[in-house]
């Protein structure tokens, strides 16, 4: 059909994308794909969110934290890492450990409450 997309950019200029064979519009300008584009925008925004980026960089387990601290210790010994930076890493690791402990306790309490509610609800008074 067309060598270039028939759609217009936000600034009013012509789109320079090449449409799929037999189509007049690229994926971003094809009127029939509006719902797909909305989904793509949501997914793209979620992938770029600060929370998502932080989650990707956080250690997955306490073993990961321990491994990072051991590597930091070796780097301090080798003179490759400033002791102040390693100290900050240790402080953050303590916070991670505390938050993990509280989260674990919270999950255990919720499970106990759910079990108590279930067993109390199953009894006839």
Q: Which residues are bridge partners to 14 per DSSP?
A: 8
Residue 62 pLDDT: 80
pLDDT of residue 83: 95
One DSSP character per residue, 44-112 reads HHHHHSHHHHHHHHS-SSHHHHHHHHHHHHHHHHTTSS-HHHHHHHHHHHHHHHHHHHHHHHHHHHHHH
Same domain, 76 and 106: yes
Instruction: Based on the fold, state whether residues 42 and 73 are members of the same structural domain.
Output: no
Q: Are 52 and 69 part of one and the same domain?
A: no
Same domain, yes or no: 15 and 46: yes
Confidence of residue 51 (pLDDT cuts 50, 70, 90): low
Per-residue pLDDT tens digits for 63-81? 888 888 999 999 999 999 9
In a domain, 3, yes or no: no
Domains in the chain, number: 2
pLDDT digits (tens, 9 = 90+) for 84-110: 999 999 999 999 888 888 888 998 999
Do the beta carbons of residue 71 and residue 80 sit within 8 Å?
no
Looking at the structure, do residues 36 and 64 belong to the same domain, yes or no?
Answer: no
Q: Are residues 70 and 111 in the same domain?
A: yes
Listed in sequence order, the residues at least 6 apart from 83 whose beta carbon sits closer than 8 Å to its beta carbon are 76
Whether residue 35 contacts residue 53, with contact meaning beta carbons closer than 8 Å, is answered with no
Same structural domain, 64 and 105: yes
> Which has the higher per-residue pLDDT, 4 or 1?
4
Range of the domain at 36: 11-57
Closest CA to 94 of 53, 62, 52, 48: 62
22 and 75 share one domain: no
Q: Is 74 within the bounds of a domain? A: yes
On the question of pLDDT at 49 being above 90, the answer is: no
Shared domain check, 74 and 114: yes
């Amino acid at each position: 059909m067309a060598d270039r997309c028939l759609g217009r950019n936000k600034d009013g200029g012509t789109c320079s994308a090449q449409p799929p064979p037999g189509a007049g519009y690229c994926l971003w300008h094809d009127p029939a794909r509006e719902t797909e584009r909305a989904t793509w925008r949501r997914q793209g925004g979620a992938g770029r969110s600060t929370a998502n980026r932080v989650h990707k960089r956080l250690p997955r387990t306490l073993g990961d934290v321990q491994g990072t601290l051991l590597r930091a210790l070796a780097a301090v010994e080798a003179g490759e890492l400033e002791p102040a930076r390693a100290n900050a890493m240790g402080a953050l690791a303590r916070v991670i450990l505390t938050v993990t402990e509280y989260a674990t306790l919270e999950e255990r309490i919720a499970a106990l409450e759910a079990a108590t509610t279930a067993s109390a609800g199953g009894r006839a008074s």
